[in-house]
Amino acid sequence: MNYKSYPDLYWALRGGGNNFGIVTRFDVFTFPQGNLWGGANYYTIDKAPALINAFSELNINSASDPYATVILAFGYVSYAGWLALTDLEYGKPIPSPPIFEDFTSIPPFESTMAINSLSNLTLEIEGTATYAARYFLTLLPLQN
């Protein structure tokens, strides 16, 4: 679309700051993915400082190993209080790779870590989601 081909639409959308767009094509490049190592670890909230430090270290060192990813979350459970959760995934079927050493050195009270398929790990993460629940996000200051 441009001002010559659709002048009315162009005039209506330009300068509006609304980021309106119409997607007419979407290309996705895929690659085969075999089994990988991943799952969830559950922690008591006293492990939060160590988990935040491990998260920071992984981000600093992530370029050294592109197969590693993590989700770190904190939540309140009415019967248990505040808890911490990590979802660790490694793109190869290698248990406890060195990039996750800061995480794997913190003992969880429950863990589902295993070699599994991506689809099974996705279903596991989906099973922990609480839809339509109240939540908030905050940034915690890192302490040295």
Q: pLDDT (tens digit, 0 to 9) for every residue of the chain, 144 residues total?
A: 566 787 777 776 665 556 666 778 888 888 888 999 999 999 999 999 999 999 999 999 989 999 999 999 998 888 888 999 999 999 999 999 999 999 999 999 999 999 999 889 888 877 766 555 555 544 444 444
Q: What is the SS3 assignment for 130?
A: coil
Domains delineated in the chain: 36-128 (3.30.310)
Return the CA Rg of the chain: 21
Rounded-to-integer distance, Cα 26 and Cα 31, Å: 17
Rounded-to-integer distance, Cα 62 and Cα 55, Å: 10
Are 52 and 103 a contacting pair, CB within 8 Å? no
What is the reported pLDDT for 100?
Answer: 97
